[in-house]
Structure 1
Amino acid sequence: MSHQHDVPSADSLRADCTRCFGLCCVALPFAASADFAVDKAAGQPCTNLRTDFRCGIHANLRDRGFRGCTAFDCFGAGQKVSQLTFGGQDWRAAAHTAEQMFAVFPVMRQLHELLWYLTEALARPAARPVHDDLRRALERTDRLTRGSAETLAPIDVAALREDVNALLLRTSELVRATVAGRKKNHRGADLIGAKLRGANLRGASLRGAYLIAADLRGADLRTADVIGADFRDTDLRDADLTDSIFLTQPQLNAAKGNAATKLPTTLTRPTHW
């Protein structure tokens, strides 16, 4: 098998709810809050989940108090668990698989998130010095996702994440070094509600920054590292995120934007913007 064949496609790292057994609507817990209208325990089906595994209020989730659902993305883990790990056998028809399937899903989601970052890192020419290491990490992670339910459940994702993160940090440094001038370092910073309208954040590190409800209207976030940054209610109207590093769909889904917000071609403009 060629190396190229081992690399997951971009489409396989995007949620395809039509091929999933509603796993995010069952496996994950949520608490009544601004994001969810009710409490739900892990392993308990959401009351809005229909028998065909679709959401009964999908078109009105935000209006009905389920904003958290619209922000969630599984990076394609749902269809992988449903179709590959469990071979298309759903938890309703085969009740004995339910508990194991629900335990595997959160693990798979984290692995798929790592695959997303690694795939992006490999696509960046500036990261060429670490491409070999990135490819090895990608193939190792991809192999893990293709294991059985028995081998997936006990995976130490935190340890794997630590190894991968060292490569992602190096990737970030190499890519941001291509931006001239002094770059801002807001790594892990508390920028909740910060007034950053029109800010030049090009090449900045915003790794793990708290940007909840921050005003980033018209800000330049090109080549800014935003891995793990909290974008809940962040105002990204007219902002430029064209080449932001490690930006994900859930981050965009949690933020506010408009038709003028510039996005990477790999991501989709949220319908509620």
Structure 2
Amino acid sequence: MGRVNLLADCENCFGLCCVALAFTASADFAVDKNVGEPCANLRPDFRCGIHQSLRKEGFQGCTVYDCFGAGQQLSQVTFAGTDWRDAPGTSKRMFAALPVMRQLHELLWYLTEALTLRPARELHGELAAQLEKIELLTRSEPDALLALDVAAHRQEVNVLLLRTSELVRAGSRRQKKARRGADLIGANLKGADLKGADLRGTYLIGADLRGADLRLADLIGADFRDADVRGADLAESIFLTQSQVNAAKGDSATTLPATLTRPSHWPS
């Protein structure tokens, strides 16, 4: 499939994230919206009418969401280019399929990255086999897609990703305190040596990570909402996603993996 197909392509999507997903009025969204209800900002061409000012208009949550390319896969492959407006009978299945496809594409993102990590080359055969298996699932017919036990597939992939993480981090770990799944909300980690740390599922909401060394740190599922990563070194961190980066607060001194993009709302 390749990385390019795991990047959101709104030009080839039917605005699915703007319809299929629900949101509640909060700091992330200005209004309430139910599943299947088109966002008031969705234009007839399936583009966002306030895309350039989402944060200013109170839709910060939209700038953080990433479908990993699931939107265009559903729109152009699963439903063969027929949108939910022209064929309203397909809408419920299409909307229900988005979270399923997104999870599959997220797994493809992690597997694709794992295959680039040389310290884990002994696992590349198993990783490639899982990648092929998940890719095949993304080409399922709508009903088969909705019947998938996604949790089971996630577990299979996660076992491999854990082994990959151990191999990648093995050479850099010193006696570091275990932080996997830790509550580090608002923690002062300025300048912290977190190289090779296991930060899977760690709550880093509002944490001060300015100048922290996060090279080779495993960041799957880490919550970076409003984390201050100005000047932090994330360039060689593993399993970091665009969504996590978008949720954080960085600057021009923050280094990122080459596969990710510096958010436009970060100061230069």
| Alpha-carbon distance in 1 for matches of 2:238, 2:110 | 9
Match of 1:261 in 2: 254
2:171 to 175, 178, 184: 178
Match of 2:133 in 1: 140
- Superposition deviation, residue 180 in structure 1: 5.2
- Percent identical: 66
- Superposition deviation, residue 181 in structure 1: 2.9
What does the per-residue CA deviation read over 1:18-42, in whole Å, with 9 as the maximum and x for residues that have no partner? 1100000000111111101111111
- SS of 2:14's equivalent? coil
| Matching residue's letter, 1:65 | G
Q: Does 1:90 align with 2:87?
A: no
Match of 1:12 in 2: 5
Alignment of 1:1-273 (within 5 A): 8-179=1-172, 181-273=174-266
Question: Does the 8 Å CA contact 1:118/1:134 hold for their aligned counterparts?
Answer: yes
| Matching residue's letter, 1:90 | D
TM-score, normalising length from structure 1?
Answer: 0.96
What is the alpha-carbon root mean square deviation over aligned residues? 0.8
| Matching residue's letter, 2:152 | A
| Matching residue's letter, 1:203 | G
Task: Give 5+ residue unaligned stretches, structure 1.
Answer: 1-7
TM-score, normalising length from structure 2?
Answer: 0.98
| Matching residue's letter, 1:220 | D
| Alpha-carbon distance in 2 for matches of 1:185, 1:252 | 23
| Matching residue's letter, 1:105 | L
Question: Does the 8 Å CA contact 1:184/1:205 hold for their aligned counterparts?
Answer: no
| Matching residue's letter, 1:167 | L
Task: Give 5+ residue unaligned stretches, structure 2.
Answer: none
| Alpha-carbon distance in 2 for matches of 1:220, 1:169 | 21
| Matching residue's letter, 1:244 | S
Cα–Cα, structure 1 residues 48 and 93, in superposed 2: closer, same or farther, change >3 Å?
same
| Alpha-carbon distance in 1 for matches of 2:38, 2:28 | 17
Question: Does the 8 Å CA contact 2:29/2:61 hold for their aligned counterparts?
Answer: yes
| Matching residue's letter, 2:140 | G
